[in-house]
């Protein structure tokens, strides 16, 4: 999962690209790099031929670490007279986190450089062949193989007499065709962006996302400026129109005009511009100390956004679900837990047999998928590779796809037969909070609409949004969770037990604590306690219970007493106190939506634990916001 970015236009390219990379940092922040085309008319012995484009040097700078942590940038970088460049923020897949392995990677003669998002699954074979051909490698990355392969394809291009041979081994020929031929040999999900020293940008997509943003038209068909990126958010304030590049397409600038090519057929294809209104996207903390707390506090807003969705769309989808043969919900990570809660709500309220599957491991289902089935994918980015791969297979088998996605123009929403957008606003913290809450609130409402009780469902969510708002503005609640966080943050093992509507809630609480505190937390069904977990119950072991006044209440209280009897420290999230709780985290009684209420204190608790430990709350170690590689 990396972030790629490119810019060509009248503005200072380095500043635009650095800002874009900061907005893409959630996709990976091991290291970052930038390459700029530098106007250099004093290049010795060359008078650029008219129409040949301005010859430029490429200036490349790379750093280990997160771009967001850089306080002062290299002065030269900011003052360079450059109007074109590319950038990359990395989540290492092949090759350690070093400056050498950081992107962009340059051709041997520095005539072009490249950044990649994805994994070249056949890079060892390609590397062996290239080594046999005499190419040298400086890095352990799969990315460098793409660069050398393009060089090799370049060397096979029919030579055109060049007006001036700048350097004996200067690569001539058509970079575009070389990129295209090399790209066709790559296996795996890869998106690349290439900057050449004529100030040209070429990008190709197969898998990881690629969006192009266009500034106002300098003249008909010629945009004044062009942005390339892994997501829309990173250039949102500067553009009105976007073009989403599909798998198997290349995009390049030709005399400042945008051309899109079908890679296989090598034919240019028409494209349409999509309007976006992300200008209002606030990507600042707005007074909060971390994005995570800001985004948790936006939970009431996101639930109201669920209510703002077009009810007709819900009804059409509800009808389709009632007719469906099999219904699957699918996701990875937090979205996978949301998928499971959505399936729960479809069963319990919609009375339909929905089952959740794990995005990264559903091979055993492939033979069962077929026409008449529906697969529902909740996803923040809409780009999770594991899930996309399953959706593509399911679609080919005639399964109808539904998605509930937060990033406009994302692959999942573009491939869906039923598209829902959470409109939760940008979620910057790698740990998903408000989007998870949005996803399960949407699943609840969908269940209610299917049962013909959509109105009641909307009423309940409206009240829930108000209750969560009250809960989050109370200093007393934050103080209680902060004090509890201090006690738990230095613990070793934390258990979370829940049942029925709260089972996925304690699993999500587990994920939040693990992601933010790097502590081993374990969310398990309360009913499983006596089958294995009880052996670990002893004095001082913290056990968090999410409790609702529902059919599972007595069973859960039995489990509370059983761990209590073995000396464990019991923390109860519930509307009412209980004599067996050592710590009670009171929440409003929100009836059918109790589980959605219960996730809020767990998210806040996980937040304060991460803060207590001094961790990078918005960018926890080793993980990224969007997993666009398998
Ligand atoms: C993980 C994120 O890497 O990917 C989670 O940390 C997210 O927050 C999961 O839920 C799946 O990503 P997405 O974009 O499909 O929700």
Report how far residue 342's alpha carbon sits from residue 411's, in angstroms, rounded to the nearest whole number.
21
Model pTM score = 0.79
Q: What distance in Å separates the CA atoms of residue 481 and residue 604, rounded to the nearest whole number?
A: 7
Residue 380 CA to ligand 1 center (angstroms) comes to 6
b/e map of 120-142 (b: 16 or more CB within 10 Å)?
beebeebbeebeeeebeeebebb
Instruction: Give the residue, 484 or 26, on which the prediction is more confident.
Output: 484
| Residue 48 scores a pLDDT above 60 | no
Residue-range domains of the chain with CATH: 3-275 (3.60.20.10), 285-472 (3.40.50.10490), 474-630 (3.40.50.10490)
Write out residues with Cβ below 6 Å of ligand 1.
332-335, 379-381, 384, 430, 432, 623-627
The reported pLDDT for the residue numbered 179 is 96
C-beta separation of 385 from 117 below 8 A: no
Residue 413: CB atoms within 10 A of its CB come to 22
Pocket test for ligand 1, best of 29, 208, 334, 408 (most atoms within 8 A of CB): 334
pLDDT of residue 46: 30
Rounded distance from Cα 295 to ligand 1 centre (Å) = 15
Q: Which two tokens stand for residue 372?
A: 């008449």
Ligand 1 atom nearest to CA at 432: 8
338 CA: nearest ligand 1 atom: 10
Residues 6 or more apart from 352 whose CB is under 8 A from it?
Answer: 321, 322, 324, 327, 346, 450
Average pLDDT for 396-413: 93
pLDDT band at 474 (very low <50, low <70, confident <90, very high): very high
Atom 9 of ligand 1 has which residue's CA nearest to it?
333
Ligand 1 pocket, mutate which of 375, 622, 627 (most atoms under 8 A from CB): 627
**Whole-angstrom Cα distance, residue 213 to residue 443?**
32
Q: Which numbered atom of ligand 1 lies nearest the CA of 387?
A: 15
Active site residue 419: no
What percent of the chain shows pLDDT beyond 90? 68
Ligand 1 centroid from CA 516, angstroms? 14
Task: Give me the pLDDT at residue 410, please.
Answer: 86
For the stretch 323-351, pLDDT in tens is 999 999 999 999 999 999 999 999 999 99
Read off the pLDDT of residues 97-154 as tens digits, 9 standing for 90 and up.
888 888 999 999 899 999 999 899 999 999 999 999 999 999 989 999 999 999 999 9
Q: Quick one: pLDDT band at residue 282, thresholds 50, 70, 90?
A: low
**What does the pLDDT average to over 189-200?**
91
- Residue 164: pLDDT band by 50, 70, 90 thresholds? very low
The closest residue, in CA terms, to atom 6 on ligand 1 is: 625
Average pLDDT on 608-626 reads 90
What SS3 string covers 317-331? HHHHHHHCCCEEEEE
Protein residue closest via CA to atom 3 of ligand 1:
625
Task: Inform me whether the pLDDT recorded for 286 exceeds 90.
Answer: no
Catalytic residue from among 2, 113, 297, 429: 2
* Proportion of the chain above pLDDT 70, given as a percent: 92
Indicate which atom in ligand 1 lies nearest the CA of residue 331.
15
Summarised one tens digit per residue, pLDDT across range 564-608 is 999 999 999 999 999 999 999 999 999 999 999 999 999 999 999
Specify the pLDDT at position 629: 66
Catalytic residue among 11, 619, 625, 630: 625
Select from 91, 332, 358, 389 the residue to mutate for testing ligand 1; criterion: most ligand atoms less than 8 Å from CB.
332
Q: Contact, 71 vs 22, CB < 8 A?
A: no
Residue 539 known to be catalytic: no
Q: Which pLDDT does position 201 carry in this prediction?
A: 93
Distance 574 CA to ligand 1 centre (A): 28
Longest dimension (CA), the chain: 89
CA 13 to chain CA mean position, Å:
25
Output the 3-class SS for 111-176: CEEEEEEECCCCHHHHHHHHHHCCCCCCCCCCHHHHHHHHHHHHHHCCCCCCCCCCCCCCCCCCHH
Q: How far is the C-alpha of 557 from the C-alpha of 572, rounded, in Å?
A: 10
Other CB atoms within 10 A of residue 509 CB? 27
Predicted confidence at residue 68, as pLDDT, reads: 76
Per-residue model confidence as pLDDT tens digits over 221-255: 677 889 999 988 888 878 888 899 999 999 998 66
**How many Å lie between the centroid of ligand 1 and the Cα of residue 81?**
38
Q: Ligand 1, residue 623: give the atom nearest the CA.
A: 3
Distance of CA 127 to the CA centre of its chain: 30
Residue 276 confidence (pLDDT) above 90: no
Cα(247) to ligand 1 centroid in Å equals 21
In angstroms, rounded to a whole number, what is the distance separating the alpha carbons of residues 55 and 330?
A: 50
pLDDT at 442 over 90: yes
Ligand 1 center from residue 310 Cα (angstroms) = 25
Q: Are 40 and 227 in contact (CB under 8 A)?
A: no
């Amino acid at each position: 999962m990396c972030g790629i970015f490119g810019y060509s236009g009248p503005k200072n390219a380095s500043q635009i690209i650095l800002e874009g990379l900061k907005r893409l940092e959630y996709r990976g922040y091991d290291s970052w790099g930038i390459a700029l085309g530098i106007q250099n008319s004093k290049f010795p012995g060359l008078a650029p031929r008219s129409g040949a484009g301005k010859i430029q040097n490429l200036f490349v700078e790379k750093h280990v670490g997160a771009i967001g942590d850089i306080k002062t940038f290299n002065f030269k970088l900011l003052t360079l007279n450059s109007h074109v460049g590319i950038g990359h923020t990395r989540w290492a897949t092949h090759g350690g986190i070093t400056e050498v392995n950081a992107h962009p990677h340059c051709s041997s003669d520095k005539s072009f450089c490249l950044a990649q998002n994805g994994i070249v699954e056949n890079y060892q074979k390609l590397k062996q062949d290239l080594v046999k051909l005499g190419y040298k490698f400086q890095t352990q990355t799969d990315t460098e193989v793409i660069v050398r392969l393009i060089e090799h394809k370049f060397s096979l291009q029919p030579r055109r007499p060049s007006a001036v041979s700048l350097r004996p081994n200067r690569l001539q020929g058509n970079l575009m065709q070389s990129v295209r031929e090399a790209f066709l040999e790559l296996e795996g999900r890869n998106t690349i962006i290439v900057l050449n020293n004529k100030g040209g940008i070429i990008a190709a997509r197969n898998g990881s996302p690629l969006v192009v943003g266009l500034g106002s038209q300098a003249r008909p068909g010629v945009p004044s400026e062009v942005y390339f990126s892994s997501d829309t958010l990173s250039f949102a304030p500067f553009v009105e129109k976007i073009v989403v590049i599909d798998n198997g397409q290349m995009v390049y600038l030709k005399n400042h005009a945008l051309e899109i090519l079908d890679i296989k057929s090598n034919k240019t294809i028409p494209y349409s511009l999509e309007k976006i209104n992300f200008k209002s996207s606030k990507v600042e903390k707005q007074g909060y100390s971390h994005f995570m707390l800001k985004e948790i506090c936006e939970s009431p807003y996101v639930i109201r956004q669920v209510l703002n969705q077009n009810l007709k769309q819900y009804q059409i989808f509800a009808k389709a679900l009632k007719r469906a043969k099999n219904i699957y919900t699918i996701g990875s990570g937090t979205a996978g837990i949301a998928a499971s809660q959505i399936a729960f709500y479809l069963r319990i309220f919609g009375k339909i047999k929905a089952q959740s599957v794990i995005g990264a491991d559903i091979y055993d289902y492939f033979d069962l998928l077929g026409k008449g089935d529906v697969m529902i994918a909740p996803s923040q980015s809409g780009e999770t590779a594991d899930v996309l791969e399953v959706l593509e297979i399911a679609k080919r088998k005639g399964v109808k796809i539904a998605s509930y996605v937060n990033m406009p123009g994302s692959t999942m929403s573009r491939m869906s037969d039923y598209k829902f957008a959470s409109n939760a606003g940008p979620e910057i913290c790698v740990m998903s909070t408000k989007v998870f809450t949005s996803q399960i609130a949407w699943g609840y409402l969908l269940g209610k609409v299917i049962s013909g009780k959509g109105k009641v469902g909307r009423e309940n969510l409206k009240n829930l949004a108000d209750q969560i708002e009250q809960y989050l503005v109370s200093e007393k609640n934050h103080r209680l969770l902060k004090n509890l966080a201090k006690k738990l943050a230095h613990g070793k093992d934390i258990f979370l037990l829940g049942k029925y509507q709260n089972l996925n809630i304690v699993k999500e609480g587990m994920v939040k604590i693990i992601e933010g505190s790097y502590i081993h937390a374990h969310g398990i069904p309360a009913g499983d306690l006596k089958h294995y977990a009880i052996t670990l119950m002893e004095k001082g072991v913290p056990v968090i219970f999410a409790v609702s006044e529902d059919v599972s209440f007595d069973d859960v209280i039995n489990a509370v007493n059983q761990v209590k009897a073995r000396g464990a420290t019991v923390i109860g999230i519930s509307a009412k106190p209980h004599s067996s709780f050592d710590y009670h985290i009171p929440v409003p009684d929100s009836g059918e939506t109790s589980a959605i209420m219960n996730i809020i204190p767990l998210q806040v608790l996980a937040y304060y634990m991460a803060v207590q430990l001094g961790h990078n709350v918005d960018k926890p170690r080793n993980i990224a916001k969007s997993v666009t590689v398998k």
